[in-house]
Chain A
Amino acid sequence: MAFIPHTPADVEAMLATIGVSSIEQLFDEIPANLRVKSLNGVPVGLNEMQVGRLMSERARADGRPLCFIGAGAYEHHIPSAVWAITTRGEFYSAYTPYQAEASQGTLQLIYEYQSMIASLTGMDVSNASLYDGASAVAEASLMAVRANRKSKSLRVLVPRTVNPIYRRVAVATAGNQGVRFEEVAFSPESGLTSLDALKKYEGEDITAVVVQQPNFFGQLEDVDAITDWAHSHGIFVIAVVNPTSLALLRPPGEWGTQGKGADIVVGDGQPLGVPLSSGGPYFGFMTTRTEYVRQMPGRIVGRTVDLNGRPGFTLTLQAREQHIRRAKATSNICTNQGLLVTAATIYMSLMGSTGLERTAAASHARAKDLVAALTAVKGVRRAFAGPFFHETVLLFDRPVAPILTSLASRGILGGLDLSDSFPELGYALLVCATETKSLSDINSYVTALGDAMQSAVRAA
């Protein structure tokens, strides 16, 4: 059965009406050399039974390893109620509904989500979400270019302590729209963005600086100093934050000593009730101050009253979006990550501020336990001395890859090998523990690591 509602006669009638001879002709403006004639590598369709079998085989191949990898996606306990409620028919949609105002329940949920995220980040307004943390950084850079009217340069400083995947996505997305991303070095002792490296840009026209807190290494940046420095030079501050950490850390809206805070706040919302799921889908969040709301991409739900004065919810500020403003739109994003935002909203409601605080505190405590236990193993030490949230970098006296392979054979994912993205660190491993790891999990890791180091010595 075909699911395409147009019959060949319908298609012909429509083409005749607009005076075009074939559907192909509608794509004429795409240069021939950019067009793909066939999709190579896409296999023939499978039926539901075959797909079910394939997917459960692949899921079995993953097994249920003990995961100590963070690096942007974090395993937290998700109360069963979260997805039981999220997958109810009333909520089960990936997008903002098309006939938005007919779906008051969905709009109210997004409104509650926006309120909670704005409060968590200490900012005035939130959009209805973006695709993920990486695309949110790209959108924030484009937004800073629009909103920072004092700057004409389109230059955005991105410290190397920002997640390398986010940096790559930002360059791929906004780089083609004229934004120039410039890497800023970090101090090898502290693993923090070097203020001296930033100060080299004084006197130049810089649009924005991106600050990740905790940074990619898990370390806590001196966000007050960076924010003050940026604002005293007319530079926008784009904060990239982990939502769980905000239960303990000062929100970006309060960064700096000049009472101004970050200008745009983004991050990945995955830690709020979204499972790791082999890398996605997740969702990105974005908040800002009221004065920049018209430059913010994406959907925004507002609360209003109807003709009879009854409260209701509506999509607002749509005049800046692509379905109305065409090429002049704020961005090409006209939707949000509806289902994952639903899960996050329910997660935050169930956890409450106390629950989120306890999750963050327990994750921090477990990460400290993990680091203490692992650095007791001979040949393993911390890369950076300062405080961290729930992950940090360990340095080894030998290559990390064979050790990780050995750990994996015992069902342990030992962390992220940093040798590709940060070769300057040497044999470096990014490790993470959240509240999901028990002391006996940590002991299993330490035992397996001890064995792996032993056999590595024997092999050498």
Chain B
Amino acid sequence: MSNVPPDLQYTKTHEWVRRLPDGTVEIGITDHAQHALGDLVFVEVPDTDKTVKVGDPAAVVESVKAASDVYSPVAGVVTQGNPGLAAEPEAVNNDPYGKGWLMRLRPAQGAATAELMSAAEYQKLLQTEAA
């Protein structure tokens, strides 16, 4: 059973969003997503100051069998891509909600967001997809 922390928000495309105290948001891929991809060998994170819209491909996660885009669930400006993933892409597999975060964004004023789900709603989505 996938780990779905209750304090985060989720997207249909298996990204998670954490709201940080300084008003920025942290984004990563869920435990379910990392498991489906398999062992990651490379992660491409966005450059600082890059402007992204909702649904823009903002990062790329590459496993031995596939390379997938990670879509930004929030519009805003990138404040940081996770610098640790260049040397340690497996952090996304081992700690998807912690050391494996992909990027931090400062949401634009009145920023549009994708339809975000609660942990309970995301759990339900996973059950529906599995069925």
Interface residues of A (CB under 8 A from B): 149, 294, 319-320, 324-325, 328
What are the residues of chain A within 8 A of B63 when measuring CB–CB? 319
**Closest B residue by C-beta to A150:** B47
Q: How far is the CB of B91 from chain A (nearest CB, A)?
A: 18
| B67–A328 CB distance below 8 A | yes
What are the residues of chain A within 8 A of B42 when measuring CB–CB? 294
Q: How far is the CB of A313 from chain B (nearest CB, A)?
A: 16
| A320–B47 CB distance below 8 A | no
Instruction: Kindly state the separation between the CA atoms of A87 and B77 in the bound complex, as whole angstroms.
Output: 57
Instruction: Kindly state the separation between the CA atoms of A149 and B65 in the bound complex, as whole angstroms.
Output: 25
What are the residues of chain A within 8 A of B41 when measuring CB–CB? 319
| A324–B65 CB distance below 8 A | yes
Q: Give me 14 other A-B pairs in contact (C-beta within 8 A), A319-B41, A319-B62 excluded.
A: A149-B47, A294-B42, A294-B44, A294-B62, A319-B63, A319-B64, A319-B66, A320-B62, A320-B67, A324-B65, A324-B66, A324-B67, A325-B66, A328-B69
**Closest A residue by C-beta to B44:** A294
Instruction: Kindly state the separation between the CA atoms of A319 and B41 in the bound complex, as whole angstroms.
Output: 10
What are the residues of chain A within 8 A of B69 when measuring CB–CB? 328
What are the residues of chain A within 8 A of B64 when measuring CB–CB? 319
User: What are 20 A-to-B residue pairs whose CB atoms are below 8 Å?
Assistant: A149-B47, A294-B42, A294-B44, A294-B62, A319-B41, A319-B62, A319-B63, A319-B64, A319-B65, A319-B66, A319-B67, A320-B62, A320-B67, A324-B65, A324-B66, A324-B67, A325-B66, A325-B67, A328-B67, A328-B69
What are the residues of chain B within 8 A of A319 when measuring CB–CB? 41, 62-67
**Closest B residue by C-beta to A291:** B86
Q: How far is the CB of A293 from chain B (nearest CB, A)?
A: 10
Q: How far is the CB of B64 from chain A (nearest CB, A)?
A: 7
What are the residues of chain A within 8 A of B66 when measuring CB–CB? 319, 324-325
What are the residues of chain B within 8 A of A324 when measuring CB–CB? 65-67
What are the residues of chain A within 8 A of B65 when measuring CB–CB? 319, 324
Please provide the 5 A-B residue pairs with the shortest distance between their CB atoms, ordered closest to farther.
A319-B67, A319-B62, A325-B67, A319-B66, A320-B67
Q: How far is the CB of B29 from chain A (nearest CB, A)?
A: 16
Instruction: Kindly state the separation between the CA atoms of A294 and B66 in the bound complex, as whole angstroms.
Output: 13
Q: Which of B47-80 contact A (CB under 8 A)?
A: 47, 62-67, 69
What are the residues of chain A within 8 A of B67 when measuring CB–CB? 319-320, 324-325, 328
Q: How far is the CB of A126 from chain B (nearest CB, A)?
A: 19
What are the residues of chain A within 8 A of B62 when measuring CB–CB? 294, 319-320
What are the residues of chain B within 8 A of A149 when measuring CB–CB? 47
Instruction: Kindly state the separation between the CA atoms of A320 and B68 in the bound complex, as whole angstroms.
Output: 10
Instruction: Kindly state the separation between the CA atoms of A294 and B64 in the bound complex, as whole angstroms.
Output: 13
**Closest A residue by C-beta to B69:** A328
Instruction: Kindly state the separation between the CA atoms of A321 and B12 in the bound complex, as whole angstroms.
Output: 26
Q: How far is the CB of B25 from chain A (nearest CB, A)?
A: 23
Instruction: Kindly state the separation between the CA atoms of A446 and B86 in the bound complex, as whole angstroms.
Output: 61
Instruction: Kindly state the separation between the CA atoms of A319 and B67 in the bound complex, as whole angstroms.
Output: 5
Q: How far is the CB of B68 from chain A (nearest CB, A)?
A: 9
What are the residues of chain B within 8 A of A320 when measuring CB–CB? 62, 67
What are the residues of chain B within 8 A of A325 when measuring CB–CB? 66-67
**Closest A residue by C-beta to B86:** A291
Instruction: Kindly state the separation between the CA atoms of A325 and B65 in the bound complex, as whole angstroms.
Output: 10
Mask of B19-56 contacts with A, CB within 8 angstroms, 1/0: 00000000000000000000001101001000000000
Instruction: Kindly state the separation between the CA atoms of A11 and B41 in the bound complex, as whole angstroms.
Output: 41
What are the residues of chain B within 8 A of A294 when measuring CB–CB? 42, 44, 62
Most buried by B among A149, A319, A320, A325: A319
Instruction: Kindly state the separation between the CA atoms of A324 and B41 in the bound complex, as whole angstroms.
Output: 15
Instruction: Kindly state the separation between the CA atoms of A294 and B44 in the bound complex, as whole angstroms.
Output: 10
Q: How far is the CB of A146 from chain B (nearest CB, A)?
A: 10
Instruction: Kindly state the separation between the CA atoms of A324 and B37 in the bound complex, as whole angstroms.
Output: 13
**Closest B residue by C-beta to A321:** B67
What are the residues of chain B within 8 A of A328 when measuring CB–CB? 67, 69
**Closest B residue by C-beta to A325:** B67
Instruction: Kindly state the separation between the CA atoms of A215 and B44 in the bound complex, as whole angstroms.
Output: 36
Instruction: Kindly state the separation between the CA atoms of A331 and B14 in the bound complex, as whole angstroms.
Output: 27
Q: How far is the CB of A66 from chain B (nearest CB, A)?
A: 52
Q: How far is the CB of B58 from chain A (nearest CB, A)?
A: 13
What are the residues of chain A within 8 A of B47 when measuring CB–CB? 149
Instruction: Kindly state the separation between the CA atoms of A325 and B69 in the bound complex, as whole angstroms.
Output: 10
Instruction: Kindly state the separation between the CA atoms of A325 and B68 in the bound complex, as whole angstroms.
Output: 8
Instruction: Kindly state the separation between the CA atoms of A319 and B69 in the bound complex, as whole angstroms.
Output: 12
Q: How far is the CB of A358 from chain B (nearest CB, A)?
A: 42
Instruction: Kindly state the separation between the CA atoms of A149 and B42 in the bound complex, as whole angstroms.
Output: 17
Q: How far is the CB of B116 from chain A (nearest CB, A)?
A: 25
**Closest A residue by C-beta to B46:** A149
Instruction: Kindly state the separation between the CA atoms of A294 and B42 in the bound complex, as whole angstroms.
Output: 9
Instruction: Kindly state the separation between the CA atoms of A328 and B68 in the bound complex, as whole angstroms.
Output: 9
Q: How far is the CB of A315 from chain B (nearest CB, A)?
A: 11
Q: How far is the CB of A101 from chain B (nearest CB, A)?
A: 13
Q: How far is the CB of A253 from chain B (nearest CB, A)?
A: 22
Q: How far is the CB of B31 from chain A (nearest CB, A)?
A: 21
Instruction: Kindly state the separation between the CA atoms of A294 and B65 in the bound complex, as whole angstroms.
Output: 14
